[in-house]
Amino acid sequence: MKYGFIKTAAATPKIRVADCDFNANQITASVKEAYNNGASLVVFPELCVTGYTCSDLFLQSTLLKAAENAVLKIKNDTKELDIVSVVGVPIAVKQSLYNCGVVICKGEILGAVPKINIPNYSEFYEARHFASGKKLFENVMYAGQDSVLISDTQLFECENIPDFVFGVEICEDLWVASSPSVRLARNGANIICNLSSSDDLIGKAQYRRDLVKMQSAKLCCGYVYCDSGFGESTTDMVFSGQNIISENGTIISESCRFNQGIIYADIDIERIAGERRKTNTFTPDDSDGEILISQAFEIPLKKTELNRTFPCTPFVPSDKADLENRCEEILTIQATGLATRLAHTGISNVVLGLSGGLDSTLALIVCVHAFDMLSLDKKNIHTVTMPCFGTTKRTKSNAEKLAEAYGVSFEEINITNAVRQHFSDIGHNEKVTDITYENSQARERTQVLMDLSNKYNGLVIGTGDLSELALGWATYNGDHMSMYAVNASIPKTLVRYLTAYEAHKSNGTLKEVLLDVLDTPVSPELLPPDKNGDIAQKTEDVVGPYELHDFFLYYMVRFGYSPSKIYYIAKKSFKEKYSDEVIKKWLTVFIKRFFAQQFKRSCLPDGPKVGSVTLSPRSDWRMPSDASVNIWLKELENI
């Protein structure tokens, strides 16, 4: 699939214990189904060829020979299919028996990986039958092939898709302190396949889910976990077939338990490779002296439909409970940052330009929380409204109501005459409502705030958000500047949710005014109102919808996606709301502005980092202010 997506599958077929012919047919049917649905990699449960619960039957040569013949049948029956299969089977080598995952591609066994950690507790007595495959390195004749390597030192690498590299570990290997997948990932495996037979107990499903999720997070990989299900013996245990596919700490597909069938997920191996390059900790591990062997295969890129979904608001949790917890956490981080700065400087006053818009409202909320933390008098929060040519009655009234509801100090300083004097000084015609007209107001407001900070011995609190920084939608040395920028890593879509969360917790006048702020169009209010006195200058009419820009920002900065890949996933995510042409138009605007406006981000004031995406020039985003945008725009033009 294009753009680095590999469609993977975890298949739990219905089996019969010790009926290898039946099981081979079921596995083959599942491989064909996965192939027909566009999968490039399909993983099966542990010992699925025989059944995991064969117990002492594993010591019968009849069963082992039947299992070998079943593998021969599977590889012959799938040799015309461009798909890699990982199948669980017992394999005898000399005097020992090994629990293996056999990797099959187009009629060839690429290799067999033995289980390393053999459980011998409670209901699991594998040590009665199987030996650990640690240090095993044997080439054997198996399933019609003269040479099959059985070793845990193997990586399986697609020659024509360089980032498609996977490794194999088996069930208990995941649960131990030092999993084989750690070494596999450090040596280049972007996907880990786990063939498992994990019985179900009360509470175990959640533990298993968390284990898979966290393993994929710490290894920065895709993790395909396939569990045994219906057909295994229930003499002492029940298996639920809980299949899980996770990527970098996020579960992207999970089966319905106590069922059989196939789940699919599009793992983004390009994203995983990019994340590893960014963290710079995935260096090869040969500490035990063993060098991993690369087993090559080749399958074509498949033109399949991307089934994976990408949330339209990636900065905002989709689950309501998670959203409330996240909002509380974010506000606490912001407030703690400000409280720490106040405590460190010994300053007990702040100055805030309160416009009645979303950003300054959130900044006020943060100030109130910080003052509560420090038990400071909220009258030391000095809010100022500075009406001028574009100020509407609605926003001015909301600013006053907010200050009163929170019990903070409030004053009005009309800057109209000061701006007109400035126009006279620089020879600007007031009737020309150009960028000079707009920015003169923004800079005058900042000058007033800075001077008031001297008067009150307070810090000027910045209100600008992450989305505005990305687009450069700020007046240089105007609203761009402050003494502590509490919203610097909060994107516009999240600003709205944080304000809504505060409204939800509030009541009376405060709740009413917060809800009205949320209902007010986003605007800098630097141009005159319309004939009805309403806001005429609406930001999203000029630069585009913030939900699109936040989407673009997240995938460009967080994961380094190319313009064509961002466009590809944006079309899927916003297909019900925006046409392809509109998405491409605003993506072009975003990329142009993002590059052109870096100089504003290169000299940002301090502010707390909240999420994984931020544009602070000191640690999180370092970019030359004169970098060329040409190759990004050229790629977008060629779509």
Give catalytic residues, as residue numbers: 46, 115, 171
* 218 residue type, one letter: K
The residues with which 91 forms a beta bridge, in sequence order, are 98
How long is the chain? 639
Which residues, 6 or more positions from 424, have their beta carbon under 8 angstroms from its beta carbon?
A: none
605 φ, ψ (degrees, to nearest 5) = -70, 170
487 φ, ψ (degrees, to nearest 5) = -100, 10
Asked if 84 contacts 40 with a C-beta cutoff of 8 angstroms, the reply is yes
Structure tokens at 8: 């993977």
Which residues, 6 or more positions from 288, have their beta carbon under 8 angstroms from its beta carbon?
A: none
| Max intra-chain CA distance, the chain | 100
Which residues, 6 or more positions from 95, have their beta carbon under 8 angstroms from its beta carbon?
A: none
Asked if 554 contacts 535 with a C-beta cutoff of 8 angstroms, the reply is no
Residue-by-residue DSSP string for 572-620 = HHTTTTS-HHHHHHHHHHHHHHHHHTHHHHTTPPP----SS----TTTT
Alpha-carbon distance 395 to 391, whole Å? 7
Structure tokens at 135: 């240090």
Asked if 292 contacts 155 with a C-beta cutoff of 8 angstroms, the reply is yes
Secondary element (H or E) of residue 369: helix 358-374
CB burial of residue 80 (10 Å; 0-12, 13-18, 19+)? exposed
Alpha-carbon distance 568 to 293, whole Å? 36
Residue-by-residue DSSP string for 269-284 = HHHHHHHHHHH-----
Alpha helices in 472-557 (DSSP H): 492-505, 508-518, 539-543, 546-553
User: Is the four-CA dihedral 386, 387, 388, 392 of positive or negative sign?
Assistant: positive
Rama region for 514: left / alpha / beta (φ>0; ψ in -120 to 50; rest): alpha
- HSE-CB for 569 with a 13 A CA cutoff: 24
Alpha-carbon distance 80 to 551, whole Å? 41
The DSSP symbol for 56 reads G
Asked if 183 contacts 116 with a C-beta cutoff of 8 angstroms, the reply is no
Alpha-carbon distance 414 to 421, whole Å? 13
Alpha-carbon distance 185 to 372, whole Å? 46
- HSE-CB for 137 with a 13 A CA cutoff: 7
